[in-house]
Amino acid sequence: MKADQNQRFMDAQTGALAMAAGGLAVAAGALARAGARQRSYRGWRWWVAAMAVGAFGLLAAPWTADLAMAAAAVQALLTVWAPLTLVGLRRFHARLGLPGLERLDWAVLAGGAAAALWLPGAAVLLVHLYVAALMWSTRTAEDAGPLRLVGAVVAAVALPPSLAPWDQGRAPVIEQAVGGGLALLVIAFVMLSLMHERTERELRESRRRLRVLANTDPLTSTPNRRHFHELATRLLRRAGAERPVLLVFDIDHFKLINDKLGHPAGDRALRLVGRCMQDALRANDLAGRLGGDEFALLLGGASLQQAIGVAERIVQQLQSQSAEHHLPVLTLSFGLVQVLSIETVDDALRRADQALYEAKRQGRSRAVAAHGDEEEPVFSESQRLGLTAL
């Protein structure tokens, strides 16, 4: 009767460990699939290896009986999964801030596996505490929570079996197998979470970069026409009684620069204009490239005279730096309007374009302000800016 009970107990242990091994196999397969789909992630292969070693140890544990060498071999097998997990973490994220070196991890792994053949309890405890200590001493906040959870699990599963007397036969081995299996299942979930979180971070960063690319003119690093329109619409909604001033301007005789000096010179001119324009901005101002050599400025809470002063500073800086960029003296023509409370951005842009055309008609290299509506514009302020045009 007692023999039958022992046999049934052993069969139950074997079945439970086999189920746990199957769970680890599924977890290893999930990690392998996730890692294969994200080939840029380093380290996941070592996590799969740790799962495989743990699964093999779970399956081998019920057959150790009371043979010391067989039990020690299984104990050594169940010891190495923690260092393998650590190696995978080091390679997965080089900025984790884990102290120590990977070659030391491999030395601990080899030494712990060898020591487990003679001093299994002490070997398990020392190896797992080494891994747990490194997990807890990470210097980055990015993945500190998951790492410390892994460290706590590694330390917790190593302590009870390591304290059990070795002469109790396979009981300590079974305990370590069960604990290791549960720990590996938790760690598999954590590693999948780390991979998922990194994928999410990379997707967010990719979306942010795509938004920047979609919203920014790559040549001048200023908002493109569409994004300028969006930002200007928001700024006009927030504007109070002091209405902003819209300036539309372009480079005089820009086609001649491209024709005589080549398109690289034209690109240098556009970049220089964009830089000088941005240098003149205040915190509540907005700049953008509308297309070609045409730019726009929206100055919050400014008068037309103040806006003409901004245009003059832009031209002065532009002309003082033209020679440094191997360019002739560049001149700009500006059209300015005070945006009305009932106007949209498109309405204000059309009126500013009319003022810009008037500046061209008057001889270029000047700023002209328009008043009134689009049907009957009145051009009042007109001021020459900088040196004579080309």
Q: What is the pLDDT of residue 310?
A: 93
Cβ proximity of 62 and 13 under 8 Å: yes
Of residues 317 and 86, the one with the higher pLDDT is: 317
DSSP 355-373: HHHHHHHTTSSEEEEEES-
Residue 175 CB neighbour total at 10 angstroms: 17
Interval 36-93: pLDDT, tens: 776 667 777 888 888 777 777 666 666 555 555 556 666 666 678 888 888 888 888 7
Rounded to whole angstroms, what are the CA distances from 313 to 141, 254, 316, 319, 320?
Answer: 46, 20, 5, 10, 11
Cα–Cα dist 251/320, whole Å? 15
Q: What is the DSSP string of 28-89?
A: HHHHHHHHHH-TT--SHHHHHHHHHHHHHHHHHGGG-TT-HHHHHHHHHHHHTHHHHHHHHH
E strand or H helix that includes residue 233: helix 225-238
- Mean pLDDT (the chain) is 80
Q: Indicate the class that CATH gives domain 2-211.
A: mainly alpha
Q: How confident is the model at residue 17 (pLDDT cuts 50, 70, 90)?
A: low
Domain extent listing, the chain: 2-211, 218-384
Residue 6 has a pLDDT of 46
58 vs 153, residue with greater confidence = 153
Residue 171 binned pLDDT confidence (cut-offs 50, 70, 90): low
* Tokens, residue 295: 């730019």
Q: Which residue has the higher pLDDT, 121 or 132?
A: 132
Gap between the Cα atoms of 332 and 315, Å rounded: 7
Tell which wins on pLDDT, 351 or 52: 351
Taking a C-beta distance cutoff of 8 angstroms, is the pair 366, 382 a contact? yes
Where residue 390 falls among pLDDT bands split at 50, 70, 90? Answer: very low
**Do 289 and 220 touch, CB atoms closer than 8 A?**
yes
pLDDT digits over 189-242, tens only?
887 787 777 778 878 887 887 777 778 888 998 999 999 999 999 988 887 777
Please state whether 292 falls in left (phi above 0), alpha (psi between -120 and 50) or beta: left
Phi, psi at 117, each rounded to 5°: -70, -25
Residue 97: phi, psi to the nearest 5?
A: 80, 20
- 103 pLDDT above the threshold of 70: yes
Identify the architecture of domain 218-384 in CATH. 2-Layer Sandwich (3.30)
Task: Give pTM, 2 decimals.
Answer: 0.59
Listed range (172-176, 224-228, 316-320, 321-325) with the worst mean pLDDT: 172-176
